[in-house]
Amino acid sequence: MPLYEYQCTECNEKFEKLVRSSFAEAEVSCPNCGSSLVKRLVSLFGALGFSGAGASSGCAPTGGG
């Protein structure tokens, strides 16, 4: 199941939601105010392909040895 990020257009709350299908996405509502006026955000994880945490620690060893 894909995890999507949303932002409520009423209260600006950002939240994540597991969405089982494109039909279920129509039923997404804000957990803060209950509004169904939400927009899906572009996730940096999905756009870049990595989370960034530990991205500098590649496979090659560093330092002397």
Cα distances (Å, whole numbers) of residue 45 to 4, 10, 37, 51: 10, 25, 24, 5
> Per the structure block, which two tokens stand in for 41?
């955000």
By DSSP bridging, strand 3-8 and strand 38-40 are antiparallel
Instruction: Report the pLDDT value the prediction gives residue 32, as an integer from 0 to 100.
Output: 97
Q: What is the pLDDT of residues 37-52, one digit of tens each?
A: 999 998 666 555 555 5
**Three-class SS of residue 39?**
strand
13: left (phi over 0), alpha (psi -120 to 50) or beta: beta
What structural domains does the chain harbor? 3-47 (2.20.28)
pLDDT mean by block of 10 residues, the chain; 65 residues: 90 92 81 95 63 53 60
Across the strands, what pairs with 18? 3
Instruction: Report the pLDDT value the prediction gives residue 58, as an integer from 0 to 100.
Output: 54
Instruction: Report the pLDDT value the prediction gives residue 24, as an integer from 0 to 100.
Output: 72
